[in-house]
Amino acid sequence: MLTILGFAMIATFLVLIMTKKMSPIAALVLIPALFCVAVGQGAQLGDYVIEGVGNLAPTAAMLMFAIVYFGVMIDVGLFDPIVRGILKFCQADPMRIVVGTAVLAAIVSLDGDGSTTFMITVSAMYPLYKRLKMSLVVMTGVAATANGVMNTLPWGGPTARAATALKLDASEIFVPMIPALAMGLVAVFILAYVLGLRERKRLGMLTLDEALAREPEPETVTTGAGGTGGEDRLRKGASASAGGTGTSTGTGTGTGSDSAADPADGDDDAFRGLDPNRSTLRPKLYWFNAGLTAALLTAMIMELMPIPVLFLLGAALALTVNFPHMPDQRARIAAHADNVLNVSGMVFAAAVFTGVLTGTGMVENMADWVVGAVPDAMGPHMAIVTGLLSLPLTYFMSNDGFYFGVLPVLAEAGAAHGVSPLEIARASLAGQALHMSSPLVPAVYVLVGMAKVEFGDHTRFTVKWAVLTSLVVLGAGILFGIM
C-alpha cells in the first residue's frame, strides 16, 4: 500500500505543477501532508517535517549565502569578461547563444555546485534571451542538462556517494566513465545546436548592434523552441510594463541609483547586466574578487570546511570589502532578497515532501518494489538495469536515497551474478542528466527562479532531452565496455 501511495503522491505532485493547478511551493507542502494523513500517520507529520527541514537546512543556508555571494560578484563585474567573451561568440545569433549557454554551463559546472552554475549562466545569458525574445525554457533546459552531465565529477556529489555506499575509490568509478560522459556532453552540445537552429529559424539572426537597437517587447515563456513567433510574444506597446525586471532577475545588476531609471526603458532593465558603467562595478578590486572566488571554490573542492560555512564567510567578506558603507551593503542584500526568499522557501517546502516520503517508509517500499520487479534473467545485466533504473529513481528520489538506499541492493544482486560493484557504480551515474531537473533538487529552483520560468514549463520541455542525454551516456558506457 505504501508503494502505491508513494507513486501516487509523486504523480499527483507532478501533474498539479505541470498543469499549473498549484504552485510548486504549495504542492510540495500540501500534497505530502494529505498523503501522510491518508496513510494513517498524520500524528507524525510534524516529526517528519522537522526531520526533513533539519536535513535540508544546510542546503538552504548554502543557497542563501551563495546567491548573495555570486550576486555581489556579478554586481562588481567579476564575470563581465566571461559575459563579453560569450557575447562576442554569440553575435546575437540564436544558435550561437544556445550553444554558448551549453558551453558556459559546462565550464562553470567544474566547480561541482549546480546553484553556482545556474546563477552565473543565467546572469550571463538571460539578457540576450530576453532581448532577442528567445525561449527561456531552452536556456534552462540546456543549462540543466549540461550541468547534470558534469555533476558526475568526483567532487560533484553522485560519484562520491556511490563510492561511499559501495566502499569503492571515487577515481576508479569516475576515470573509466570519462569517455561515456564526454559523449553525453557532446550530445548536449548537439542538442543545443539543434535547438539553436530552431530558434534561429523562428526569430531570424541579427547583429549584436541590431539586437541592442530593437524596441523592447514583453515576452511570454515558451515551452518549445519550434513554435511560431506569434505564439511566443505579446503585442507591442506594453513594453513599459516590463520595467521591473532589473533587480528581480537574479542577475544582481540593479542598484539603488539604477532603480530611479526611466521606466520607459522597459526590458532594458534586464539588459543592464552588460552595462559597463553601472555604479556597482569595482574594477580596482577585480583581482581581489577573482582570488577570493578561486579560494572559495578550491576550499569547496578540497572540503576544507562545510560549504554553507564557506559561502557565509565569503558573502560577508565580499560585502564588507566591496561595499564598506552600510547603506550600500543593505542595497546589495535587498537587490538579491527576492531570489534568496524564493529559493530558501522552496527548499524548506521540499523538506516537507522528502520528510514525508522518507518518514512514512514510502521511499523504502518503492525501492524494494522496483528492485524486486527485476527478473532473475536480467541478473547478468544488472549494470544495464542499474543504469536504466537510475533515470526514474534519481528523478523521484534524492541522490542520498538512491545511492545509500537502492544502490547497495542493486550491487548485491549484481554480485550474485558476477557483476562487479564498480560496473554497478558507474552505471548509476547515467541518470544524472535527468536528476538535475528533479523537483527534489534545490538548485533547479535557483535556475527557474532567476530565469523567470515556471517549473512546470521547464519540466515539460527538459525531461525528454535529459532522458535522451542520459541514454546516450548509458549507451556509450556499454559500447566502450565500461559497464
**Pair 62, 307: CB distance under 8 Å:** yes
Which pLDDT value is given to residue 387? 93
Which pLDDT value is given to residue 93? 87
Residue 238 neighbours by CB under 8 Å, 6+ apart: 218
Q: What is the mean pLDDT of residues 341-363?
A: 83
Residue 234 CA to residue 399 CA, distance in Å, equals: 40
Residue 435 CA to residue 398 CA, distance in Å, equals: 9
Residue 403 CA to residue 407 CA, distance in Å, equals: 5
The β-bridge partners of 233 are: 219
Residue 32 CA to residue 481 CA, distance in Å, equals: 42
Which pLDDT value is given to residue 207? 58
For residue 300, is pLDDT > 80?
Answer: no
Distances in Å between the Cα of 243 and the Cα atoms of 217, 264, 270, 279 are 10, 7, 8, 19
Which pLDDT value is given to residue 137? 95
Q: What is the mean pLDDT of residues 35-57?
A: 88
Residue 134 CA to residue 126 CA, distance in Å, equals: 10
Which pLDDT value is given to residue 402? 83
Which pLDDT value is given to residue 148? 94
Q: What is the mean pLDDT of residues 5-9?
A: 87
Tell me the pLDDT tens digit for each residue of 168-220: 888 888 889 999 999 999 999 999 999 999 999 988 766 555 555 554 444 43
Residue 238: what are its φ and ψ, rounded to 5°? -110, 20
**In which band, very low, low, confident or very high, does the pLDDT at 299 lie, cut at 50, 70 and 90?**
confident
Tell me the pLDDT tens digit for each residue of 380-432: 888 999 999 999 988 887 787 788 778 887 888 788 788 899 999 999 999 99
Check residue 51 and give left, alpha or beta (phi > 0: left; psi -120 to 50: alpha). alpha
More confident position, 126 or 154: 126
The β-bridge partners of 219 are: 233
Burial class (CB in 10 A: 0-12, 13-18, 19+), 66: buried
More confident position, 316 or 408: 316
In the block, residue with C-alpha cell 551516456 = 473
For residue 479, is pLDDT > 70?
Answer: yes
